[in-house]
Amino acid sequence: MSRTIKAAATPSTAPSGNDTVGQAVRELIADVRGRGDEAVRELSARFDRWEPESFRLDERRIAEIIGTLDPQVVEDIKTVQANVRRFAEAQRDSMSEIEIETAPGVFLGHRHVPVQSVGAYIPGGRYPLTASAHMTIVTAKAAGVPRVVACTPPIRGEIPAATIAAMHFAGADEIYVLGGVQAVAAMAVGTETIESVDMLAGPGNAYVAEAKRQLFGEVGIDLFAGPTEILVVADEHADPFVAAVDLLSQAEHGPDSPAALITTSRRVADEVQRHIEEILPGMQTGDIAGPAWRDHGQVILADDLDEAYRVADSFAYEHVQILTENPREALDKMHAYGALFLGEGTCVSYGDKVIGTNHVLPTRGAARYTGGLWVGMYLRTVTYQEVREEKSSAELGELCGRAARVELFEGHARSGDVRAAKYAGATLPWTDHYETARA
């Protein structure tokens, strides 16, 4: 049986949706829906002290902004986006379209059709998350989305140049310096100057996440976002210092970010905790990572790795890092996770920032039933049917008539009856149409 060495002081729970955030967001969306651009401008001035002549950046202004950046920053953005694009395109290439003949002249198939417009929200606030531009926009373009609208807030009254560069190089068709619920609502419902989109993607604060939740159905969304999560599975071969550093790397996302260690070694458990306490005081983001570890950190001792993997699956965390002698066995042993990071040479931060897999991943247990954002989320797999042989259509018509009448769907049955009559001479007891025609 596993034993808890350190328990979370404040267990993470799913949001109730019954709070002041929900009501505030509802009112803000209604305001944008009712007053359009006027509401957007007033809300931007109120929340961000940002009221430019135009929220949208034109090509000339984008070029000026990118020109202020260190060339190394630009080169790194392009390198990371190439990694993301390469993987997303490989995912797209793996998705086959099919057409099969199930009976003589009966053809069934499916195609993968891109969503026609996407609104990508790139957060600002505490961190300018350039990586979110790579993950949302590059992936949408790899899927073939023809129109991507991208919004990011100003940071302390300034345009975040690196984020704008990332949005531009990723392929955004429209770029707006606009943040918060007003940005999400404007993209979803449309205004006089911002045409509405079909889908929203990207992370954000509690208000942005709630706005996406409330708008879901009117538009599609990628995922319901929650605090970033990390779980490390370690055996006696793991380096406790590496494990400690990696746990804190994700705890710095926010004071409510859970971080958990499941290990088969009591020595590793104790040393990881000791290293964490030594590292935190000198960590620039220790004021965030410290409360996260204090309130949401966990250390669990498992009898063996099979038990460790079972316990890890019960967490269903966003990021799961495997620091064991044979990390690839987790691919077969584990089932509920957003993304796996195998071995000491791999870390969650690579996934967050540079390696090429998508960092928009399920949280709050959603990994039990969904994966993260990938090129397939921007595609709709749609089916089509065609019956070319009259004999097959007649046979299907007779079958449809019987099957529909079992369910008391007379109208459905008659659609089948008509084809059985037209193509095979069956009688229609509910009409004399074909009898008259034959006469």
Residues labelled catalytic: 318-319
Query: How far out from the chain centre does Cα 203 lie?
Result: 8
176 beta partners: 56, 151
Rounded to whole angstroms, the Cα distance separating 314 from 308 reads 10
Rounded to whole angstroms, the Cα distance separating 44 from 274 reads 45
438 burial via Cβ count (<10 Å: 0-12, 13-18, 19+): exposed
Query: How far out from the chain centre does Cα 199 lie?
Result: 11
Residue 377 host element (H or E): none
322 beta partners: 233, 342
Please give the C-alpha separations between residue 374 and each of 252, 342, 382, in angstroms, as whole numbers: 25, 20, 18
Axis-axis angle for helices 20-35, 206-215 (nearest 10): 60
Selection from 334, 329, 252, 344 nearest residue 291 by Cα: 252
Selection from 214, 278, 264 nearest residue 236 by Cα: 264
The CA R_g of the chain, rounded to the nearest whole Å, is: 27
Give the phi and the psi of residue 300 in degrees, each rounded to 5.
-125, 135
**Six token digits for residue 397:** 């018509």
